[in-house]
Amino acid sequence: MATPDAPAAEAPARDYTSEPQQVVLTLISALLDTWPDPQTPTTLAARTGYSRDQCYRGLRNLALARHAEEVAAGWTIGPVLTTAAERIRQRTAALLATYLGRTS
C-alpha cells in the first residue's frame, strides 16, 4: 500500500517497435540506397542483417503496396516510391521558385 509521502511509480516505457515493420522499413532504405541496381533477397539479407526469408517476405509485402517491384535481376523500388520522389522534387522546385525566385 502506497503512503502519501511515497512517489508514484512510473509506468514502464512502451515499446511500439515491430520486427516485421522494421524489416520493411530497412528494406525500403536499402532499396533506395542501391537504386537503380536491383537487389536479391540474399544481397539484401547481407546488407541489412535480416535473414533471406525475412527479406523475401518483406519484399513481397512491399510489392503488394507497390513500394517495391521484382524485375529480372532482383528487386528495386516500385512506382509508389518513384512517384513520391518526383512529387517531392516538383514541390521543392515550386517552393524555390516562389520564395527564392529560383528554378531548379
The reported pLDDT for the residue numbered 16 is: 83
Across 17-43, average pLDDT: 95
- Write down the residue that cell numbers 525475412 correspond to: 54
pLDDT in tens, 51-99: 999 999 999 999 999 999 999 999 999 999 999 999 999 999 999 888 8
The reported pLDDT for the residue numbered 17 is: 85
Across 33-44, average pLDDT: 97
The reported pLDDT for the residue numbered 12 is: 75
Q: What is the pTM of this model?
A: 0.75
Contact residues for 34 (Cβ-Cβ < 8 A; gap 6+): 47
Domains of the chain: 19-78 (1.10.10.10)
